[in-house]
Amino acid sequence: MRVCGLMSGTSLDGLDIAIVDFSGDAEQVSHELKHFVTMPYTEELTAQLFQLMDPLAPVNKVSSMNMYLGELYAQLIKESLIDSEIDYESIDLISSHGQTIWHEPTADQERLYARPNTMQIGDISALAEYSRKPVIGDFRTRDMAAGGQGAPLVPFADQVLFQSKSNGRVLVNIGGIANITVMAPSTHTQNVIAYDTGPGNMIIDAFVFKHSEGKQSYDSNGDLASSGVVHEEWLDELMRHEYFSYPAPKSTGRELFGTSYADALWSQGDDYGLSSVDKIATVTMFTAKSLAREIQKHIQTHDLKEVFVSGGGVHNKTLMNHLQVLLPTQIDVKASEAIGMNSDAKEAFVFALLGYLGFHKKPNNHPSTTGATRQTILGKIAW
């Protein structure tokens, strides 16, 4: 089956499109990435999506954007193939993560109608209609209904595809939020552990945007961070964030580390008298240190030897260097290309795999990483 996997993450800057050929099942799945591209959003669309992250966003705008994104995704898939060797008609299934605008994995027990909840927009029925393809999507809600946090879902694929017989591995994804999948060698008995470690690029990007007065949206190669000085006292304060004390499995997003938090941190940097590049340097180290600290917890129990990084953060050389220095010398930090996975394509690829399995009625969640009470089949289908 040829599956088109779609992923739009917390950066809100574009749609990742991965075309993957699959055969077999979760016990022995064969795969080949045939095509990958990121189709950027317009600045206006990104700004509109940011506004919808607000809990007070008008419900009519959320509902309308839900339908619009379904239409847009179909258009972007077709545009992404114009200069490729992929025939649009050869795609058998579209598997869409959708655009997360709200993720609340724990509910206020005092509120009668409160439940753990999550919302990804980009309506799959609209996408099916405009693409004329079957679409599977809305993966996270079934895991939540089964008692899980609806995240992280990537570790299921990490174990299926990348667990080693000889070395313990950590697969890291640094998107807006950073997350880890910790796997002992397959000959060991330890469970796979996976969770969001905290901020990834989200705060760094917000600071770069402020520093450049809107001219830059990310720190290319980590050049700005490398030109600044890390403020250790402020860094220690940042590392005391309450999220880091929560037990795994746990997940987070813009609700905790989004715009409001970034604005508050920028003001804190002013209180310390820091230049904007020193602020960027400090929050870059914040991401690296929060990641490294979590990885270190599992070195002995999971016999860790290797760390493979994917996501936008892999291109930030300063961040990658920090991560290598903060970890023991026996831990080797590399981009995920070292195990045959395109660093940028990984999440779209993973949702193609989850969609492939879900479409064939195969379980595709990992209860030990999401906290679900049982394994189940994630995804709704629009024919």
DSSP bridge pairs for 7: 16
∠ CA 33-34-38, nearest 5°, is 85
Continuous H helices in 81-211: 124-131, 140-145, 154-162, 202-211
Q: Give yes or no for a cis peptide into 152 (omega within 30° of 0).
A: yes
Q: Is 15 annotated as a binding residue?
A: yes
Burial 304-324 (b: 16+ CB within 10 A, else e): bbbbbbbbbbbbbebbbebbb
- The Cα–Cα gap between 206 and 203 comes to 5
Q: For residue 11, say whether it is annotated as part of any ligand binding site.
A: yes
What percent of the chain is helix, strand and coil (3-state, nearest 5)? Answer: 40, 20, 35
Residue with tokens 């905290």: 198
Compute the distance between CA of residue 55 and CA of residue 8 in angstroms, rounded to an integer: 20
| Dist CA 333 CA 331 (whole Å) | 6
Q: Is 12 annotated as a binding residue?
A: yes
- Tokens 């679900």 belong to 372
What would the DSSP string read from start to end of 346-383?
HHHHHHHHHHHHHHTT-----HHHH--SS-----EEE-
**Does 355 show up as a binding residue in the annotation?**
no
Other beta carbons less than 10 A from residue 69's beta carbon = 25
Asked whether 358 and 136 are in contact (CB, 8 A), the reply is yes
- The whole-angstrom separation of Cα 218 and Cα 253 is 18
Do the bridges between strand 168-174 and strand 304-310 make them parallel or antiparallel, or are there none, so unpaired?
parallel
Integer Cα distance of 194 and 175 in angstroms: 15
3-state secondary structure of 285: helix
Buried b (16+ CB within 10 A) or exposed e, 103-133: bbbeeeeeeeeeebebbbbbbbebbbebbeb
Annotated binding site for ATP: 9-16
Annotated binding site: 9-16
